[in-house]
Amino acid sequence: MTRDITSILIIYTGGTIGMVQDPKDGILRPFDLKRIMHQIPEITGLGYHIEAVSFDPPIDSSDIDPETWTRLAEIIEEWYSKFDGFVVLHGTDTMAYSASALSFMLENLTKPVIFTGAQLPIGALRTDGKENLITSIVIAGAREYGKPVVPEVCIYFESKLFRGNRTSKVNAEQFNAFQSANYPTLASAGVHLVYHREHVRNPGKFRELRVHKKLNAQIAVLKLFPGLTPQVLDGILGSEGLKGVVLESYGAGNAPTKLWFLKRIKKALDQGIIFVNVTQCSMGSVEMGRYETSRYLLNAGVISGYDMTTEAATAKLMVLLAQNKKDEEVKMLLNKSLKGEITIP
């Protein structure tokens, strides 16, 4: 390929954007990526060199797992020097998890990796996939003064570009399926594509891409709810091999003060299980110690996740636990913004 022409690699993992309705039973099934490109001939008018690779078979987003993330990271690593940007077509249900994971796995990233998808198949008359894909390609190829405008792992959906590890899916029916409640958008698409450069993360000094391919999935997400019983809590925290817990607490990081609950959390902490506390609220931040109901967790050694999303905390914990770091270093890094995933007061 000619290097003065912007080059984009599209990676199709699966998802609604690449589905077609089977006329026999009406069920949506994946079809070949080349047919997606055929559905959007406008892509050729961008003037980019575009190639595509596809998972075979495509994976429904509900089946995404850490092995999929490693596979994605390896594809980007393999083609990193040959392409200026990457567009990942992905199902919406777990897209925020995958974008979060890739943000931590791709260390020293200096090129755009844009996740996108659709609520309606690309062949549907009213599909949102067409605009999502075209604009994602444009963003992945955008350069200024010879450098990428958005050298991050992002999600583009319904005219907004979000930092990947700040994003959650919040709507199963509307086209505006995602939100970044605690961090501003990186770009907005209307008549003009406007980049909010002050919110884009600058990678700083150039360093060679380093890919963290190992993840430790021996973690649990514990969502607190009124009526949580000792038996259920013990079943989760007593899981064999458990290394870490993402604790979805109430409000600003609050949890029950019942003695049995506090003792079981303390027992798990003493066993070396790492806890990171995130809020169940879609907006706002954990402020451990602000209320009495969170002070015990803080004193016991639970780490504050501040305004991290559950998706980001889950992925970050998996990546850090796989790096054979000492527990204290893992805790320190959980409490630190590595890829712009936390706003620390």
Residue 151 identity (one-letter amino acid): P
Tell me whether residue 16 is one of the annotated catalytic residues: yes
Edge-to-edge strand ranges of the sheet holding 303-304: 219-223, 244-249, 274-279, 303-304
Q: Are 91 and 68 in contact (CB under 8 A)?
A: no
Q: Which residue stretches of 80-196 are H helix?
A: 95-105, 129-141
Judge contact between 209 and 80, C-beta under 8 A: yes
If you write DSSP's letter for every residue of 241-284 in order, what string do you get? Answer: T--EEEEEEBTTTB----HHHHHHHHHHHHTT-EEEEEESSSSS
How many CB atoms lie under 10 A from the CB of residue 35? 12
**Token pair 């899916």 is at which residue?**
169
From 16, 116, 279, 310, active-site residue: 16
Closest-CA residue to 322 (of 221, 211, 228): 211
Q: How many CB atoms lie within 10 A of CB 125?
A: 5
- Measure the CA–CA gap between 5 and 28, rounded to whole angstroms: 36
Residues with catalytic function: 16
